[in-house]
């Protein structure tokens, strides 16, 4: 029987002061001469610090990685339950986090990696503070909420029609027009139904394994589950407030290298939308890494291919 690899023990947990709150950070340290990468989680409200020990197999010999729980998420929420997140204070928190890490690790710039919702914060930060960013890496890049939903819905509709499943065809008819602007609370309720069908026609077979890995995390505590449920309301409000977000409203002129890592089966933030945006933006260097047979979490779907992409980016 193959022996399971040990959980890496080169991690430290720390709360830092940002924006009047105590923000949880998790550090997986590598050799001091290697770069430092800040990992911005998705959601909103989905801490990825619990999966850090799994991803350490990817990053261990490439860089130091720092994960943090955003305001309203995970261990940061548990320490500051009354601190509600919005786009403005999340961006301010991110800037203070970067400045703190630069001083701590004595680095002029950090690599910024955003996943899913985290790509909103990461892309905007790279545009606003290029002086602090070595390169921006978008994994499952969110470009335009409505256009992303449209691309995913179109793929789902084609799959349902091909299946000939009359019940699911009827479900789509009952949902009605989707998506529409403004993307309001009615659209968000429709999104829940659409996502359920997406899971049926584009299943993510690793979801169960990912959840189990979180429970095995060296930083997991039973109280974290309570925090997850309690923070849902805060992040639902945030989701409504950013449901019409589009990067097209911001500058397309990046002063730092931009890299996207996309799964070709991603129905949450379809790779086609990220590719379209990448072609329109300007940057000192830009490239998309498309991972075959991967979905919205390519780092778990194909760790080897993801590491190859990260190695090419970090060693460039």
CATH of the domain at 34: 3.40.50.1820
Percent of the chain with pLDDT over 70: 96
**Looking at the domain assignment, is residue 212 inside a domain?**
no
**How many folded domains does the chain comprise?**
2
Instruction: Encode pLDDT of 90-109 as tens digits.
Output: 999 999 999 999 999 999 99
Q: What is the number of other CB atoms lying within 10 angstroms of the CB of residue 217?
A: 17
From the list 184, 114, 178, the residue with the least C-alpha distance to 148 is 178
Residue 113 pLDDT > 70: yes
Q: What is the number of other CB atoms lying within 10 angstroms of the CB of residue 113?
A: 26
Q: What is the number of other CB atoms lying within 10 angstroms of the CB of residue 31?
A: 9
On whether both 170 and 285 belong to a single domain, the answer is no
Give the contacts of 245 (CB within 8 A, at least 6 positions apart): 120, 142, 144, 145
25 vs 204 pLDDT, higher one? 25
**Looking at the domain assignment, is residue 278 inside a domain?**
yes
Residue 206 pLDDT > 70: no
Cα–Cα distance, 17 to 165 (Å, whole number) = 53
On whether both 80 and 35 belong to a single domain, the answer is yes
**Looking at the domain assignment, is residue 213 inside a domain?**
no
On whether both 69 and 135 belong to a single domain, the answer is yes
Give the contacts of 56 (CB within 8 A, at least 6 positions apart): 8, 10, 28, 65
**Looking at the domain assignment, is residue 3 inside a domain?**
no
On whether both 72 and 17 belong to a single domain, the answer is yes
Whole-number pLDDT of residue 6: 62
Query: Residue holding tokens 């069908």?
Result: 197
Q: Taking residues 280-309, what's their average pLDDT?
A: 96
Instruction: Encode pLDDT of 117-144 as tens digits.
Output: 999 999 999 999 999 999 999 999 999 9
Whole-number pLDDT of residue 205: 56
Percent of the chain with pLDDT over 90: 76
On whether both 189 and 233 belong to a single domain, the answer is no
Whole-number pLDDT of residue 7: 64
3-state secondary structure 122-182: HHHHHHHCHHHEEEEEEECCCCEHHHHHHHHHHHHHHHHHHHCCHHHHHHHHHHCCCCCCC
On whether both 79 and 151 belong to a single domain, the answer is no
Cα–Cα distance, 268 to 57 (Å, whole number) = 25
Asked if residue 260 lies in contact with residue 233, where contact means CB atoms within 8 angstroms, the answer is no
- Tokens matching residue 118: 């985290």
**Looking at the domain assignment, is residue 18 inside a domain?**
yes
Q: 185-201 and 166-175 are packed helices; what angle lies between their axes, rounded to 10 degrees? A: 160
On whether both 49 and 104 belong to a single domain, the answer is yes
On whether both 275 and 300 belong to a single domain, the answer is yes
Whole-number pLDDT of residue 1: 41
Residue 294 pLDDT > 60: yes
Range of the domain at 165: 147-201
**Looking at the domain assignment, is residue 206 inside a domain?**
no
202 vs 169 pLDDT, higher one? 169
Instruction: Encode pLDDT of 137-152 as tens digits.
Output: 999 999 999 999 999 9
Whole-number pLDDT of residue 208: 64
On whether both 25 and 117 belong to a single domain, the answer is yes
From the list 27, 11, 41, the residue with the least C-alpha distance to 231 is 41
Asked if residue 56 lies in contact with residue 208, where contact means CB atoms within 8 angstroms, the answer is no
On whether both 177 and 91 belong to a single domain, the answer is no
The residue out of 201, 235, 269 marking a domain boundary is 201
**Looking at the domain assignment, is residue 215 inside a domain?**
no
- Lowest mean pLDDT across 32-36, 238-242, 295-299: 238-242
On whether both 28 and 125 belong to a single domain, the answer is yes
On whether both 158 and 307 belong to a single domain, the answer is no
Whole-number pLDDT of residue 315: 87
Q: Taking residues 35-43, what's their average pLDDT?
A: 96
Query: Residue holding tokens 């060693």?
Result: 315
The residue out of 171, 201, 231 marking a domain boundary is 201
**Looking at the domain assignment, is residue 39 inside a domain?**
yes
């Amino acid at each position: 029987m193959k022996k399971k690899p040990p959980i890496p023990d080169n991690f430290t947990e720390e709360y830092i002061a940002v924006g009047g709150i105590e923000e949880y950070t998790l550090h997986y340290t590598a050799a001091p001469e290697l770069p430092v990468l800040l990992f911005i989680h998705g959601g909103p409200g989905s801490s990825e610090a619990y999966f850090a020990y799994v991803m350490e197999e990817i990053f261990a010999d490439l860089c130091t990685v720092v994960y943090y729980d955003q305001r309203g998420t995970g261990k940061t929420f548990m320490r500051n339950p009354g601190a509600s997140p919005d786009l403005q204070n999340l961006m301010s928190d991110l800037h203070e986090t970067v400045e703190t890490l630069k001083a701590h690790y004595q680095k002029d710039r950090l690599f910024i990696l955003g996943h899913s919702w985290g790509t909103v914060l990461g892309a905007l930060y790279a545009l606003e503070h290029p002086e602090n960013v070595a390169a921006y890496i978008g994994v499952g890049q969110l470009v335009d909420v409505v256009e992303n939903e449209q691309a995913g819905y179109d793929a789902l509709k084609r799959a349902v029609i091909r299946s000939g499943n009359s019940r699911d065809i009827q479900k789509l008819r009952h949902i009605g027009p989707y998506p529409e602007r403004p993307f309001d609370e009615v659209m968000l309720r429709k999104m829940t139904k659409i996502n359920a069908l997406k899971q049926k026609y584009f299943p993510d077979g690793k979801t169960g394994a990912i959840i189990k890995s979180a429970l095995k995390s060296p930083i997991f505590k039973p109280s974290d589950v309570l925090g997850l449920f309690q923070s849902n309301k805060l992040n639902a409000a945030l989701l409504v407030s950013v449901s019409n977000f589009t990067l097209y409203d911001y500058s397309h002129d990046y002063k730092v290298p931009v890299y996207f890592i996309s799964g070709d089966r991603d129905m949450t933030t379809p790779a086609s939308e990220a590719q379209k945006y990448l072609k329109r933006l300007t940057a000192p260097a830009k490239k998309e890494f498309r991972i075959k047979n991967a979905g919205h979490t390519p780092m778990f779907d194909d760790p080897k291919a993801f590491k190859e992409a990260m190695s090419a980016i970090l060693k460039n």
